[in-house]
Amino acid sequence: MKKIYIAGIGMSRKTVTAEVMEAVLSSDMIIGAPRMAGEFSDTGIPYETQYQPEAVGKIVDSSSGRTFTLLVSGDTGFYSGAKGLLQRFSSEDYDVEVLPGISSMSYFFAKAGIPWQDAVHISCHGRSCNVVEYVRRNKYTFLLTGNDIQNIGKTLCQAGFGNITVKYGENLGMEGQNIGQITARELMDMVVSPLTVLLLINPEPDASVPSGIPDSSFIRGKIPMTKAPVRSVIMSRLALKPGENFIDIGAGTGSVTVEGALACWKGKVCAIERNPEGAALIRKNCSKFHIGNVEIIEGSAPEELEQFDHPEKKVIPDAAFIGGSAGKMEAIVERLLEINPNMRIVISAIALESVASAMDALSSKAVDPEVIQISAASSMKAGKLHMMKAENPIFIISGGGIDE
């Protein structure tokens, strides 16, 4: 049986623990990425520069050696290559031991003099990451950048976070280490090493998921907006969860888009609006509420829904709200249920004919519609007195979901 050490080396040779060094010196071979394996060339121990699990496995299996140290950067439990190596060497043919190292997160926070127990951590290294939503909800967000500094800065600025403080660490623990502080806006012009981490500091985090946000809180124009009392009922029928994806069709000023994005903050939101003024308002409201998980599509449904067939989209909506159909209700509902047969669909309507159209569209697809009629009134001042001003009655039609 071959002995396998999967060892985190921290930032560099300087931060290697005594336990890892002992494993290295007891090995017949060292295997790791060129930067890491080269750190131990002075030991005289043979080494191979490889890090892909299958390729590493072939080297180990074909070698006559009995003990191997497989090097990974940072800590073995923090966005590490150790996961793939553990899967490759999971059989009983190997005796595997995992040795932790110093993570970039713990190293950087120590250098910055800030405790890290209250920070969240995310990685944009080779993966999609929703930086804005984490920054909005947390005071400290630690980020592995994946050599995407400029786009991260652009995304933060678009969401209204251009002035927050950013601490950065470049080439941590190595020659050329550089630790400094700038604003998020300055990230757009920053050129740094791929081995750079960020600490994004939001002094006023807000993790709330409000429903029925006051109408006055939104930037408005001449585009119709779903009012707060109606929006509350719509959101209750949508029942969005943090990791779900959501489509807002006929998004208007983006009031439902905003509340949907706040609710499914780990997921993606797509707002479809054919009016350019409406699309512009959605962008402004997303920036005002510090939202970064919304894609705005200027166009109409069902035509714009065709893009969800493209392999690169990789987003399957869990729920949809139809606030405007331009007379294409049946086609829109049909297309939504083609994308996801278990999609939850909520529709708002004022005219009785629109109610009938929505019910028919759902019923034709074997979805049993539920109808709620809302009559809301708000107080307004009349001299020294107050009187109630009624809004138009609104119908909320909903159906679909896994329980249908």
Task: Report the chain (404 residues): mean pLDDT per 10 consecutive residues.
Answer: 95 93 96 91 93 94 95 92 94 94 94 90 80 94 87 93 95 90 94 89 92 93 90 95 95 96 94 95 96 94 85 81 92 94 95 94 94 88 89 92 61
How much of the chain is in helix, strand and coil states, percent to nearest 5? 35, 25, 40
CB 344 within 8 A of CB 398: yes
Q: What CA–CA distance (Å, rounded) separates 158 from 283? A: 9
List where CATH 3.40.1010.10 sits in the chain.
Answer: 2-102
SS3 assignment, position 172 = coil
pTM: 0.82
C-alpha 186: how far from its chain's center?
22
Contacts of 315 (CB under 8 A, 6+ apart): 245, 268, 270, 308
| DSSP string over 347-390 | EEESSHHHHHHHHHHHHTTT---EEEEE--EEEEEETTEEEEEE
Helix 228-238 / helix 255-263 crossing angle, nearest 10 deg: 40
Residue 195: what pLDDT? 83
Burial class (CB in 10 A: 0-12, 13-18, 19+), 155: buried
Residue 402: what pLDDT? 66
Contacts of 231 (CB under 8 A, 6+ apart): 211, 212, 213, 255, 256, 259
Q: What CA–CA distance (Å, rounded) separates 42 from 19? A: 18
State whether CATH 3.40.50.720 applies to domain 105-201: no
Residue 129: what pLDDT? 79
CB 350 within 8 A of CB 394: yes
Topology of domain 215-399, CATH: Rossmann fold (3.40.50)
Q: What angle do CA 238, 132, 313 make, to 5 degrees?
A: 60
List where CATH 3.30.950.10 sits in the chain.
Answer: 105-201
List where CATH 3.40.50.150 sits in the chain.
Answer: 215-399
Residue 404: what pLDDT? 42
> For the structural domain made of 2-102, what CATH number should be given?
3.40.1010.10
